């Protein structure tokens, strides 16, 4: 090959047959997808209709009026009772052992052992 010559061009490739086959496959896939979507949609509609016909409507519950004065009194009484209970529980065994009236009737040995811890 000399200076002025060039390589011959490659022969043209016939792609129309390949393009037609690809187009046919795409059309077939699109058609199958459309059919499956239609089937899914009709199944969902059927399910919704059976659910709607079998499910009863919920009952409506009206709000109850709350008497806040009664509720406040109840809470106040409960707080007072809890406070009184706490006060009673604070006076445990350690507060009543040494002030018990039974100490007057016990012997001196028992009294001294309780006071000194011997």
Q: Taking residues 49-54, what's their average pLDDT? A: 75
Binned at pLDDT 50, 70 and 90, residue 94 comes out as low
Do residues 81 and 87 touch, judged by C-beta distance below 8 A? no
Interatomic CA distance for residues 39 and 33, integer angstroms:
10
Coil, strand or helix: which one is 45? helix
**From 10-14, 63-67, 75-79, 81-85, the region with the lowest mean pLDDT:** 10-14
Tell me the whole-structure pTM to 2 decimals.
0.30
């Amino acid at each position: 090959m000399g200076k002025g010559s060039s390589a011959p061009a490659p022969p043209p490739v016939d792609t129309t047959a390949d393009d037609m086959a690809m187009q046919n496959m795409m059309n077939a896939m699109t058609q199958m997808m459309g059919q499956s979507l239609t089937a899914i949609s009709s199944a969902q509609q059927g399910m919704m209709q059976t659910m709607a016909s079998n499910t009863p409507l919920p009952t409506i519950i009206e709000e109850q009026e709350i008497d806040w004065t009664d509720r406040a009194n109840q809470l106040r009484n409960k707080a007072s009772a809890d406070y009184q209970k706490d006060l009673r529980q604070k006076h445990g065994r350690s507060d009543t052992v040494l002030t018990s009236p039974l100490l007057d009737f016990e012997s001196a040995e028992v009294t001294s052992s309780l006071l000194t811890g011997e």
